[in-house]
Structure 1
Amino acid sequence: MTRQTCTTCNAELRGTENYCPQCGHSLRGRRGRRGEPEPPRWVEIEFQESKSSSFHTALDLCITNPNYRTFERNALKVHRVGFHADQSGELLRLANIVRGWKSFRLFVDGREETWRSFFYGGYYCFEDRDASAHSNQYCYGESSEWFNWWGCHRLGYGFYSEEDWLRSGKMMEDHVFVLDKDRIKRILLQRARSHRFCPVMNTKSILERVDMLPDAIDPATNPDWEYYFLDWRDEPSTPPAAAVPVCNPESMIVTHLVPPDVVVPNPPDRSWAQGEPPPGYE
């Protein structure tokens, strides 16, 4: 029988693992099918013997995990346990006990990370998603302020956001709004890095969604879109000084980009957008 080993650390494998039990290296493809999240990351928590009153509680959480093991380092006993990153409940229960200990170490896919970089790098948001009654709606955004069609409301470029669209497109003299898709992709990827430890972050799917947007938007010929005029003095019949395209929530492109169980929030009040003064304007 051929001996199987990890390509990263040469640890011996049984052949059934998804991740190396020694270093956490993924033993399967990280890229999911179109539109599906990438496989969750592998997270390991390590700590040594402790005089803390919570030590035995931490140990009890470990010994029920099949990915728990012990070994010696510098004549000291080390405890290490692995989790799929989407096991947020179990992972956080243990981490909240041991993360203040001097011996605490955290590894993500075999690479050591600080707890702060991991937790605030998207994992706290995933924890909130787990606690939400509707996880898909939480990710896409539950209000008009946050909602977007990338599948992560933390990325911005909201469905009703004016500023983001203005920075990534140009209004032409013929009233056609031309999107700068390359710029949109760069900004989304840059923002996604700040949330890279979210187990359901799928950058491949995000970039595909950008490609599905039209290169140019003309509400005069495409009823799926309309303009929001950012200056109430602009008239729809003249080239607007500042306007951004907004998609009809019931349009075909929305049905392709947004899952059927996600509700597109109602737009913010734009009653002043067609030449009427905005609320509170004197």
Structure 2
Amino acid sequence: MMVCDKCGAGINEGAKFCPQCGDPVTETDRISVPVTESHVANVEITFGESSSPNFTKAVEICKNIPSYSFTGEGKQARHKIFLPITEVDLIINLFELVGSWKSSQMLINGHTATKKDLTYYGVGCYRSRQKAYKPEQFCFGEKEYEANIWGCKRLGMPINEWGGGWLDYGTFDKSGVWHFDKGRIKHELELTLKENELCPILDRKRVLETLDKLPESINPKRDSNWQYRTSYEEVNGDYKEVAVGVKPVIKKINRYVIGSFKPSWEIEEQGRRSNNAHVINVNLQLEDEQPKQKTTFTANKKKSSLSTIWWVIGVIVLLYFLFR
């Protein structure tokens, strides 16, 4: 993250304005490579005059934005700004100031929108991505169960090492070759692409090119990057292991990713450990204290032995007087 040189607020990578004060990002804010805006949605916020204590602050923020315009007078006065959705933090902060006013309105690509459109779905995920330690890896999945070749984990189509999900969209032929049903896969992708279309880095073209790059058919007998996914089913009155789908060798699946970035999904194999493997004996005594401890233990041991001898003698004496 960068730091605003005007108010000190944190700024996400790719932002052009400070999310708190609206000050344009410059070299003094330690700006880095900006986000490409080839398919980035545009957000329009409009509001009128208000007696709210937030009004002055809202206007001050808007005046820092080059697209700011002011028209009309009195009740017809309108303050308006346009911002790319990549400035989502600034948009949210500004809308929180003016969003409850009757005169305010927010449009995304010309359609009425609410704060929910900025905090959920693809845009909400984009905000998390910008704060991630490795933003690009975030989209391809930082964990095994999120691993995907599409470049978007919100599409709901991970490529799990155990198979299943969209990998089951297809059929086997008689020779054991798996044939993907790409029509079904594309249908499911289109549904989630539409749901997350406001994400500024979601590349629909790239996703569909990835689908085209997938092989039409897979023969796990010959392709070492794939294996059969099996299950036990009843066959002629007997249970047998039969192939029900395919599963990938997860570390070799990067070859289907388009572009120079190759995500990595590490699989840690935990070795078996004994129940006491985690127990570590630590001597908390200082070296010069150890002899004293040993001496004390010996003295206590001797004292215990003497007590036992006197107890036995006492019992013998008692028995002697009882049976005289």
Q: In structure 1, how many angstroms separate the alpha carbons of the residues matched to 2:267 and 2:232?
A: 21
Q: Flag the 1:190–1:252 CA change in 2: closer, same or farther, 3 A.
A: closer
* Corresponding position: 1:212 with 2:217: no
Distance in 2 separating the partners of 1:76 and 1:211: 53
The question of whether the paired residues in 1 share the 8 Å contact of 2:179 and 2:216 is answered with yes
Opposite residue 40 of structure 1, the aligned amino acid is V
In the other structure, the counterpart of 2:201 is 200
State the secondary structure of the residue aligned to 1:138: helix
Code of the aligned partner of 1:246 = P
2:94 is aligned with 1:94: yes
- Alignment partner of 1:243 is 2:245: yes
1:49 Cα offset (Å):
1.7
Contact 1:58 1:98 (C-alpha < 8 Å) held by counterparts: yes
Deviation at 1:190, TM superposition (A): 0.6
Give the structure-1-normalised TM-score: 0.71
Is the 1:37–1:202 contact (alpha carbons within 8 Å) kept by the matching residues of 2? no
Q: Which amino acid aligns with 1:242?
A: V
Q: Within the alignment, does 1:187 sit opposite 2:188 as a pair?
A: yes
Q: Aligned residues: percent identity?
A: 25
How far apart in 2 are the matches of 1:268 and 1:259? 28
Instruction: Determine the C-alpha separation between the residues in 2 that align with 1:206 and 1:226.
Output: 24
1:107-126 matches, within 5 Å, as: 107-126=107-126
Distance 1:102-1:268 versus aligned 2 partners, 3 A rule? farther
Distance 1:268 1:50 in 2: 61
- The size of the alignment, in residue pairs, is 228
Cα 1:96–1:140 shift into 2, 3 Å: farther
Change over 3 Å in CA distance of 1:143–1:51 after alignment to 2: same
- 2:68 and 2:249 mapped to 1: Cα distance? 50
- The aligned runs of 1:72-151 (5 Å cut-off) are 72=72, 75-151=75-151
Amino acid corresponding to residue 218 of structure 1 in structure 2: N
Work out the CA distance in 2 between the residues paired with 1:165 and 1:136: 24
Asked if structure 1 preserves the Cα contact closer than 8 Å seen for 2:126 and 2:200, the reply is yes
Which structure 2 residue ranges, 5 or more long, are not aligned? 1-35, 235-239, 271-324
Q: Give the residue type in structure 1 aligned to 2:61.
A: L
Q: Which residues of 2 match residues 262-273 of structure 1 at below 5 A?
A: 262-266=263-267
> Which letter does structure 2 place at the counterpart of 1:176?
V
Kept after mapping to 2: 8 A contact 1:46/1:79: yes
- Note closer, same or farther for the CA distance 1:226–1:174 as it changes in structure 2 (3 Å cut): same
1:215 Cα offset (Å): 0.3
Question: Partner residue of 1:222?
Answer: 223
- Aligned CA distance change for structure 1 residues 196 and 257 (closer, same or farther; 3 Å): same
Aligned amino acid, residue 225 of structure 1: W
User: Which residue of 2 is the match for residue 173 of structure 1?
Assistant: 174
What residue identity is the alignment partner of 1:245? K
Give the drift of 1:172. Answer: 2.9
SS at match of 2:47: strand
C-alpha distance in 1 between matches for 2:245 and 2:268: 16
The structure with higher relative contact order (CA 8 Å, sep 6+) is: 1
Alignment deviations for residues 52-72 of structure 1 (CA, whole Å, 9 cap, x no partner)? 222222122111000111123
Contact 2:177–2:218 at 8 Å: present in 1 too?
yes
Name the CA distance, whole Å, in 2 between partners of 1:37 and 1:55: 30
Report how far residue 247 of structure 1 moved: 4.0
The corresponding residue for 1:49 is 49
Q: Which amino acid aligns with 1:156?
A: G
Are the equivalent residues in 1 in contact too, given 2:170–2:178 (CA < 8 A)?
A: yes
Seen in structure 2, the aligned counterparts of structure 1 residues 149 and 135 have a Cα distance that, compared at 3 Å, is same
Compute the TM-score of the two structures, normalised by the length of structure 2. 0.63
SS in 1 for 2:96: helix
Q: Partners of 1:143 and 1:252 in 2: how far apart?
A: 15
Superposed, 1:27-66 pairs within 5 Å as 38-66=38-66
